[in-house]
Amino acid sequence: MYTYNEEWFDCTPQAAFELANQVELWPKRLSHYRTIRFREGSSNAMGGIVEMAAVRSFRRLHWPVRWVSDMKADPAALLIQYRHVEGVTRGMDVEWRFEAWGAGTKVSIVHRWDKPPIGRRLAADRIGKHFVHFIAGQTLQGLKTAAESTISREAGYTRWASIGQL
């Protein structure tokens, strides 16, 4: 299974990296995340074992999802990597990249799951498309809004990206 999500942020690669690395703050910034807790390490320590729980909404149905990952963040390379170690997606590798792109940053997330325990077709069609890709897209959109809202407040003006935050 392979999914790719990408979003352009109106901020520096370093600012986008810092926002994405602060995973324990995601539930405050992203409505689809319920809880995030480090079992070991922290975002300040550039990673560790982290439990994540989110919700995938299908109209009126709110499907809870949960996984545990080994997180490693490299600020010099502007790279965050996860290896899912517990949950349905055990064995999935995730890579976040932050690249200068024009006046802002291209943030991309790649999910790779070479040996899903449930069958490749089911993993790709159901889990990959309807859960992984969808939740990653929501995460990027939410972090983009948070990044651009923060930049706007610091600059003393309001942008379209921050209107929902007012």
Asked if residue 163 belongs to a domain, the reply is no
Q: Contact, 115 vs 18, CB < 8 A?
A: no
CATH code for the domain in which residue 7 is found: 3.30.530.20
**Residue 41 forms part of a structural domain:** yes
**Residue 161 in domain:** no
**Number of domains the chain is built from:** 1
Residue 144 is part of which domain span? 2-154
Name the pTM for this structure.
0.86
Asked if the structure places residue 101 within a domain, the reply is: yes
Give the model confidence (pLDDT) of 4-58 as tens digits.
999 999 999 999 999 999 999 999 999 999 999 999 999 999 999 999 999 987 7
164 in a structural domain: no
Q: At what angle do helices 133-155 and 13-21 cross, to 10 degrees?
A: 120
Q: Are 82 and 93 in contact (CB under 8 A)?
A: yes
The CA-CA-CA angle for residues 154, 25, 74, to 5°, reads 85
Give domain status of residue 132, yes or no.
yes
Is 165 domain-assigned? Answer: no
Residue 104 inside a domain? The answer is yes
Q: What is the pLDDT of residues 88-127, one digit of tens each?
A: 899 999 999 999 999 999 999 999 998 887 777 777 777 8
